[in-house]
Amino acid sequence: MGLRQDILLFNVESEEELERINTLAKKHRKPARVALRINPDVEAHTHKFITTGKKENKFGIPYPEVKKIIARRKNYSKVEIMGLHLHIGSQITELAPYREALEKTMHLLKELETESNYHPQYLDLGGGMGIIYQNEEPFTPHEFAEMVTPYIANKGITLILEPGRSIVGNSGILVCKVIYRKKGVGKNFLIVDAGMNDLLRPALYGSYHQILPLQEKKNSQEVYDVVGPVCETGDFLAKERALPSLKEGEFIAVMGAGAYGFSMSSNYNSRPRAAEVLIEEDKFYLIRRRETYPDLIRLEAIPPHLQGE
């Protein structure tokens, strides 16, 4: 399937950005197609860092501003405003925030039609669909479709969606090796060779990731904090997990690492980033080789007068 070039739009966050794009379009003599990202002021009930559609967030244009921009859209002669975009957050498990955002958007569209004779060709209903990390009960794609369809059916609008992590989140795991088991005071630690630099979500969002031994084990369970070798207490992958007894050198899988896993990874503590491996049926392919120490300093240069010191 080829890329649908016709739905490639700049989602514009502010009138300043619209002006910038219009200026660049003029300069390059190439009309630009955009959507206005509106701020629906909706609470998506997700982590505060990934709620993106509330009025106090940096994202999107408030409704009154959208109306003003659409009213004077002819001023932006090199820009075609193809539709509206909204995005209410990430890892959303309830339909209600989408419904609320849609209600508001449909109301706005009616006003834009009445006041400015504006009819959008596209509506990009963003907001990433939630997945199961622990005990979430996200809506299904079918339920989503049933909710959305009545709003946009027969309105001549093409819907664009941004399913986000639901495409890849649960298709990736982070495999780590047990380095040590360690008894602390009143706590057991499973020290593994992956850390917060490989998977930042637990430290940054307090996220839960399921931990499974790579080989099924029937032995009795103990409660562990699963931690990495990085030099801070924020370096944990899981807290207080009942796990079967695991020996040094055995492997665990940190589940749900396919989204916001490698993409947020860093070289913190001078740790080369992990390899990425694609599994297809019974075959595997190295699709990103493991970083090496030379990779870490490859872009560095010592000024001539400091060399050899």
Q: Which residues bind its own copies (CB under 8 A)?
A: 13-14, 16-17, 20, 39, 41, 48-52, 55-59, 62, 90, 180-182, 184-187, 189, 191, 200, 203-204, 225, 227, 231-236, 248, 263-270, 276, 278, 280, 285-289, 291, 295, 299-303
Give me the least distance between CB of 142 and its own copies, in Å please.
27
Instruction: List CB contacts of 49: < 8 A, sequence separation 6 or more.
Output: 204, 205
Determine the straight-line distance between the first and last CA of the chain, rounded to whole angstroms.
57
Q: Virtual CA dihedral for 76, 9, 40, 261, nearest 10 degrees?
A: -140
Instruction: Give the shortest CB-78-to-its own copies separation in angstroms.
Output: 19
CB of residue 148 to its own copies, shortest distance in Å? 22
176 an active-site residue? no
231, 242, 275, 279: the active-site residue? 231
Residue 49 or 293 with smaller CB distance to its own copies: 49
Q: Nearest approach, Cβ of 162 to its own copies (angstroms)?
A: 10
> Per the structure block, which two tokens stand in for 150?
């009545």
C-alpha dihedral sign at 73, 76, 82, 88: negative
CA distance 44 to 85: 16
Q: Whose CA is closest to 105, among 125, 129, 131?
A: 125
Cα 86 from chain centre: 15
Question: Which of 223/302 has CB closer to its own copies?
Answer: 302
Q: How far is the CB of 260 from its own copies (least distance, A)?
A: 8
CB of 302 to its own copies, least distance (A): 7
Of 23 and 140, CB closest to its own copies: 23
DSSP string, 99-163: HHHHHHHHHHHHHHHHHH----SEEEEE-PBP--SSS--PPPHHHHHHHHHHHHTTTT-EEEE--
Question: Contact, 46 vs 52, CB < 8 A?
Answer: no
Q: How far apart are CA 286 and CA 269, in angstroms?
A: 25
Measured N-to-C along each axis, helices 63-71 and 96-116 cross at an angle, to the nearest 10 degrees, of 30
Q: Which is nearer to its own copies, 12 or 84 (CB)?
A: 12
Residues in CB range of 153: below 8 A, 6 or more apart: none
Catalytic (active-site) positions = 231
